[in-house]
Amino acid sequence: MSDQAKPTFYLLRGDDNTRIKEVIAGFQAGLGDPSMADLNTTRHEGESLSFETLQADALTMPFLADRRLIIVENARAFLSKMAKDRAQTCLDLFGSLPETTALVMVVEDQQAKKRGERYWEHGKTYAWLTDWMREHNDRTLLIDCALPDEEDMPSWILRKAKELGGGFKPDAARLLASYVGNNTMRAQNEVMKLITYVGERQVVEEADVSLLTAQEQEGNIFTLTDALGERNSKAAMQQFMLLMEDNDLLELTGMIHRQFRLLIQAREILDGGGKAQDIERELKVLGFVSRKLADQARRFSMRQLLEIYDRLLKIDVDMKTGGTPGDVAYELLIADMTRQS
C-alpha cells in the first residue's frame, strides 16, 4: 500500500467488542469535524442489508468531507447471503470503491485452537472474501479483533492503564484479571474506575482492587453459585436479579460461563485427589478464589456440572439467534437446578 493511498475496504473480525468500537471510533475521528462525521457515517445491519442498498451508499459522494464511512454490523450474515450467487458481484464492487468511501465490514467471529494451531471458527464461510483481500492488499485492510487469552489479561490491563494515564502494580493487574477473565469491556470499566479512585497516587495496588472490585464482585457470583448448590431457589433468583441490575446480560453470561468452567476444572482436580492449593496453582487463581471453588465444586457432581455447562452454551446460542430471551432462559435454568429431587 502506498504512503498516500488509504484503504477503501476494511474487514474487522473478532469478538472483542471493545477493540472493535475503538477502531470504528478512530475511523470516525478521521472524518474530521464531528458534525460532518455524523452526516457522512451510515450504519447497516447485515441481516437485512441488500446488495443494491450497499452499492448505492458505497458510490455516494461525501457531504463537505473527504470521505464517507459505511459500517456493516453483523456482516457475516450479509456475506453468507452473498456467497451463494453474488460473491463475484460483491468483489467487483469492493474492488471499485472510490477513494472517498471507507466501507467497513464487522464480522463477528472467535478464535479457537486445534492441535495448538489457532483458527477462526467461521472463517470458511467468508474465505472467498479474505482470499480476495490478500490479493488486493493495496486497497484493503484486515483487522483482527479477537479477545485476548485469559493469561494475557494482566499485560492487557497494564497497557490499558497506561493508555488511560494511570498505572497498575503487577499484582493488582493479576488480581483484576482473575476476576474479569478476558472480558475486555468489563476490564476497561474497572481500570477506569480504579484509576479514578486512586487519583493523584496514579498507581493501582492490590488492596485497591480487593476493596473495589474482586472480592465484592466474586462474592456476588459465588453467592449465586452457593444458592444453586444449596438448591435454594429464592436466594438464587434474588442474587441473579441483583447481578442483572449491575451487569449487562452478555457480561453476566460471560461471568456465569467462566464460573462453571472453573468449577468443572476444580471438580476434575478434586476427583484426582487434589486440594484447594492444587486448584490455585493449576488454574492460576488467587487463594480465596481457589478455596471457594473447592467448596462449591464439592456440591456438584461432574455430570451435573457438564449438564449445566451444556445448558449454558444453549442459552448463549439462543440469545444470539433469537431463541428464548436470555433472562427468561436463566430463570428457567435456576428453577430447574434448584428443584428439590
Domain with residue 194: its CATH number is 1.10.8.60
Residue 87: pLDDT band (50, 70, 90) is: very high
Residue 96 located in a structural domain: yes
Spatial separation of the C-alpha atoms in residues 129 and 11, rounded to whole Å: 9
Residue 4: pLDDT band (50, 70, 90) is: low
How many Cβ atoms from other residues are within 10 Å of residue 334's Cβ?
A: 18
Spatial separation of the C-alpha atoms in residues 189 and 246, rounded to whole Å: 13
DSSP 152: G
Q: Which three cell numbers stand for residue 163?
A: 493508555
Spatial separation of the C-alpha atoms in residues 213 and 219, rounded to whole Å: 10
Examine the domain organization and report whether 95 and 35 are in the same domain.
yes
Which helix (H) or strand (E) segment is 7 a member of?
A: none
Examine the domain organization and report whether 15 and 127 are in the same domain.
yes
Spatial separation of the C-alpha atoms in residues 186 and 214, rounded to whole Å: 12
> Residue 301 is part of a domain; what is its CATH number?
1.20.272.10
Window from 23-27, 108-112, 213-217 with minimum mean pLDDT:
213-217
Window from 233-247, 260-274, 320-334 with minimum mean pLDDT:
233-247
pLDDT at 217: 53
Residue 130, pLDDT > 70, answer yes
pLDDT at 216: 52
Range of the domain at 195: 150-212
Percent with pLDDT over 90 in the chain: 43
Q: In the chain, where does DSSP find H-type helix?
A: 17-29, 34-39, 51-58, 75-85, 87-95, 127-135, 153-163, 170-180, 184-198, 206-212, 214-229, 233-246, 249-271, 276-283, 287-297, 302-321, 326-338
pLDDT at 103: 97
Instruction: Yes or no: say if 270 and 294 are a contact pair by the CB < 8 Å rule.
Output: yes
- Structural domain ending residue among the three candidates 212, 227, 245: 212
Q: Specify the number of domains making up the chain.
A: 3
> Residue 17 is part of a domain; what is its CATH number?
3.40.50.300
Residue in 339, 311, 315 with CA at minimum distance from that of residue 327: 315
Spatial separation of the C-alpha atoms in residues 216 and 211, rounded to whole Å: 8
Residue 2 located in a structural domain: no
**Region for residue 10 given its phi and psi (left: phi exceeds 0; alpha: psi -120 to 50; beta: otherwise):** beta
SS3 label, residue 141:
strand
Stronger pLDDT, 279 or 287, i.e. the higher one = 279
Cα 19-132-43 angle, rounded to 5 deg: 45
Residue 161, pLDDT > 60, answer yes
For the chain, give the mean pLDDT.
Answer: 87
Residue 4 located in a structural domain: no
Residue 113 located in a structural domain: yes
Residue 87 located in a structural domain: yes
Q: What is the pLDDT of residues 204-214, one digit of tens each?
A: 998 888 777 75
State pTM to two decimals: 0.61
Angle separating helix axes 214-229 and 233-246, nearest 10 degrees: 150
Residue 1 located in a structural domain: no
Mean pLDDT, residues 150-178: 91
CA distances, 185 to each of 7, 14, 19, 109, 271 (Å): 28, 14, 9, 17, 35
**Region for residue 280 given its phi and psi (left: phi exceeds 0; alpha: psi -120 to 50; beta: otherwise):** alpha
SS3 label, residue 99:
coil
pLDDT at 316: 84
SS3 label, residue 154:
helix
Residue 324 located in a structural domain: yes
Examine the domain organization and report whether 229 and 133 are in the same domain.
no
